[in-house]
Structure 1
Amino acid sequence: MPDPDILLLDEPTNGLDPTGVCWLRTLLRNFVLVGKRVLLSSHLLNEVEQTVDDVVILKRIVKFAGSLSDFTENGHFILADKFFELMGTEGLNDVR
């Protein structure tokens, strides 16, 4: 693969074993450390929370765009709970 400035990834951990997930996280962190960017799309919110610095949540419009820390109120909440709160689906807590 050439040396891109931006990676666009959709569900990059899908099908990876735990070692592969760890390897991918390290690869992405190193990619960002040299000044490049990663756009990651995933429905696995616990994985997203361990991987990203910033989040954008869309539902026809941008519902939130900012740092993960701001969204989770400096880690006082987990990403999934804040996501469900924002999307108006708090009742889903019973099925998670």
Structure 2
Amino acid sequence: MGGEEIRAFLTHLAVDKNVAAATQNQALNAILFLYREVLKIELENIGTYLRAKGHKRLPTVLTKKVKMADDFSDRTTNCDRCPGHSQPTKVRIAHPRN
């Protein structure tokens, strides 16, 4: 197996198997380790191959309504730690007007 076959295999992982970029990188590093360290063969230039796309992560965004409810929840839970309060205070959450 030479550079052309390795390039075809790495492209196959990205296109046909739709693996993550980290999986494709791990496969490349495993092949390089096998050739260099085990077989003691220096590979010719592998060249370019189609890279797997990294996953784009979208940030988690809280709406104002959820954030307000969370803030009120924190305040009521901490009331039982205040001196003189044996029970948490109940708070009515006012929903914001549009």
TM beyond 0.5: no
Larger CA Rg, structure 1 vs 2: 2
Higher relative contact order (CA 8 A, sep 6+): 2
Larger strand proportion, structure 1 or 2? Answer: 1
Larger helix proportion, structure 1 or 2? Answer: 2
TM-score (norm 1): 0.28
